[in-house]
Amino acid sequence: MLILFFTIIFIAEIIIAGWLISKIRKLDKIVCEFNFRILPLKDLFKEKIILEKEVLTSFNQKVKGWNDFVDKKKNQYLKIHPQMIMTIASFILKNDWKKVVLIFDIIFGIKKLLAK
């Protein structure tokens, strides 16, 4: 009885091993066909990858330049902004209101004229 059990198990293992070997061979054929199709395009892929690297590097440099420009203008604005407030405040406090209103009226008029 024990010999029959081990014989059945052995035959089952041989069947499973044969099935696995046939699946591995089929997959190997598929991989070989795919490799045969891809190998001629290998150089083209390399060229495209190099081109994409150059494009991304250029884009990265432009973005970095834009960020530097924005940071520069931000720092420049933060330096000028308090000075402008102090200048306008001293101008308003020093002169009469009619002159201040007239000057702001002229500034907004020029701005509207330039916008058209």
DSSP letters, 1-45, are -HHHHHHHHHHHHHHHHHHHHHHHHHHHHHHHHHHHHHGGGHHHH
Question: Which residue range is the domain that position 97 belongs to?
Answer: 2-115
Alpha-carbon span 17 to 14, nearest angstrom: 5
What's the pLDDT score for residue 93?
67
What's the confidence (pLDDT) of residue 108?
Answer: 79
DSSP three-state, residue 69:
helix
Res 104: pLDDT: 75
Q: Does residue 78 register a pLDDT over 90?
A: no
pLDDT at 11 over 90: yes
pLDDT of residue 105: 77
Q: Is the pLDDT of residue 99 over 80?
A: no
Number of structural domains in the chain:
1
d(CA 100, CA 83): 18
pLDDT at 58: 94
Q: How confident is the model at residue 73 (pLDDT cuts 50, 70, 90)?
A: confident
